[in-house]
Structure formats: structure tokens, C-alpha cells
Amino acid sequence: MATQQQAQAHSEVLDCLRRDLEAARYRAQRAERQYEASDPENRLVTQELERRWNSALEEVRKIESRIAAESECIQATTVGTVDEFKDLASDLEALWNDPQADERTKKRLLRALIREVVVDIDEETSEVVLVIHWKGGVHTPLRLPRRRRGESGGHTSKDIVSAVRVLSRIYSDEMIAGVLNRAKLPTARGNYWTRSLVASLRANHGISCHDAQRQAAEGWLNLTQAARVVGYPIGHCALPSNAAILRQSGRSPADRGC
């Protein structure tokens, strides 16, 4: 309702400006005719008429600028039809995931759709219970796992930590970053892994860096090294990727997946 009233106000102002523009153009045309009809030899009269003509033209330009500004405001506050709002429900996910939808747009969208969110804690299940009250009258209940003490939004999953713990036996930090990125396993913040991020993760979890001597002593092999040891073409191995890890043992090549 407020948006409709605002759009109506802009429309009324625009109508007034258009009438003012019509009158200003008439005055400018009349000033032009008076200037053209003046005696060129009478320089004082000619200069005064020219000044009036320029003043009238300047007034026309100012009103045209105000009309352009009001037109932009009307376009920005255009009220959607009922059918357009109904169609929005089916396109909501696409709108939310649109690359051009920035944080400001998403916040405006949430304010337009949600009346309030009621939050409670379920101590027995250690969950956060939310009830979303939509402005249309629908209520949506949600249950989310409660964040444990010591965890944060930047908490790395245990699976990734375990993978880095094993990969560090055969790969450098730079190689580990490449393995995680190829596996489409982003960081806790959704970014790509880099050598420095892997090194930071190791430091936070007490994981030693790659040591070639330790790798040889413990008998850890990556896929390329394992294929070279058994003398089997690397392209024919059935292991899923170069990130696969084999512990050197007395098994036959067939038992190792090659």
C-alpha cells in the first residue's frame, strides 16, 4: 500500500512537471520569435531579448531534467501485479541463486516475505527449532543442529581433516590443495584450497607436513608410485584418481586394484 501511494505521488508530480514543460517551451518559442523580429542595429534591445531567450531555454532544460529524475523514481517504485507476485513463488529459488542478486537484494526479499522467525532450543535433541511466519499466513517449522561448544562458522569437517592427515603422508601441501579442489571439497568458507590454507589446517590439528623419508620408511605410495612399483600401466589401473593411497604390502597387483 505504501509503495502504491508513493508511486501515485510520483505520477502526480510528473503530470505537473509536464504541464510546466509545455508552458516553458511556449515561453522559449515566443522569446525566440521576439529575438528574430528585433532590429539588429538596436544592440541594447537585441541583447536583452537574447538574454530572455537563453533564460527561457535554461528553464526548459531544468524541467526536462526533473522529469527524467521523476521517471526513474517511478520505474524504481513500479508496483507488480498480483499475477507477478504469484509467479514469484515458483521463481524464488532462481531469484535467490541469481548471480546478480546481491546481499542487499536478498535482505529486501526476506523482509518482503517473512513476518517473523521464532527461535527456540530443544535441549534433548540439541537442536535449534525455528518457525518461520510468512506474510501470507503460512508457517514453516525447521530444525537445525545446534552448534557445539568451540565450533564456529569456519569449522572444517572431520572428513576433510582426516583426508589431509592421510594425504600429508604422500603429498606436499600444494598437492593436497589440488586434490581437495579436484574433489570439489571447498574450505569451511566455501573457498578453494591453497598451499597456505592446507598448512594452516595442519598446524591447527597437529598434522605433520610431508616428509619423503617418513613416507619411504612407512611404505606409503600414491597411485603413480604404486603403478611404477608393480610395473603396471598407470592408465589401466582401476583406482579412482591420483589421490588414491596404497599401503605397500605383500599383496599381488590384482589385490591392489590394478
Q: Do residues 207 and 190 both lie within one domain?
A: yes
258 within some domain: no
234 within some domain: yes
Collapse the DSSP code of 118 into the 3-class scheme (helix H, G, I; strand E, B; otherwise coil) and give the result.
Answer: strand
Our count of domains for the chain comes to 3
What the block records as the C-alpha cell of 90 is: 515458483
Runs of H (alpha helix) within 79-194: 82-90, 92-97, 103-113, 158-167, 173-182
Of 76, 93, 114, which one is at a domain's C-terminal end?
Answer: 76
Angle at alpha carbon of residue 207, lines to 201 and 208, rounded to 5°: 120
Q: Do residues 209 and 170 both lie within one domain?
A: yes
192 within some domain: yes
Contact 238, 207 (CB under 8 A): no
Of 76, 105, 126, which one is at a domain's C-terminal end?
Answer: 76
Helix axes 2-37, 43-76, angle to 10 degrees: 160
- Domain span holding position 130: 82-145
Q: Do residues 99 and 68 both lie within one domain?
A: no
CA distance 24 to 13: 16
Q: Do residues 38 and 59 both lie within one domain?
A: yes
Q: What is the pLDDT along the chain (258 residues), one digit of tens a residue?
A: 445 666 677 778 888 888 999 999 999 999 989 888 888 788 888 889 889 999 999 999 999 988 888 877 766 555 556 666 666 666 777 878 888 888 888 888 888 888 899 999 888 888 899 999 988 788 999 988 776 655 555 578 888 999 999 899 888 999 899 889 888 888 888 888 999 999 999 998 899 998 888 888 888 877 777 777 777 665 555 444 434 433 433 333 334 333
CA distance 210 to 195: 12
Of 76, 92, 111, which one is at a domain's C-terminal end?
Answer: 76
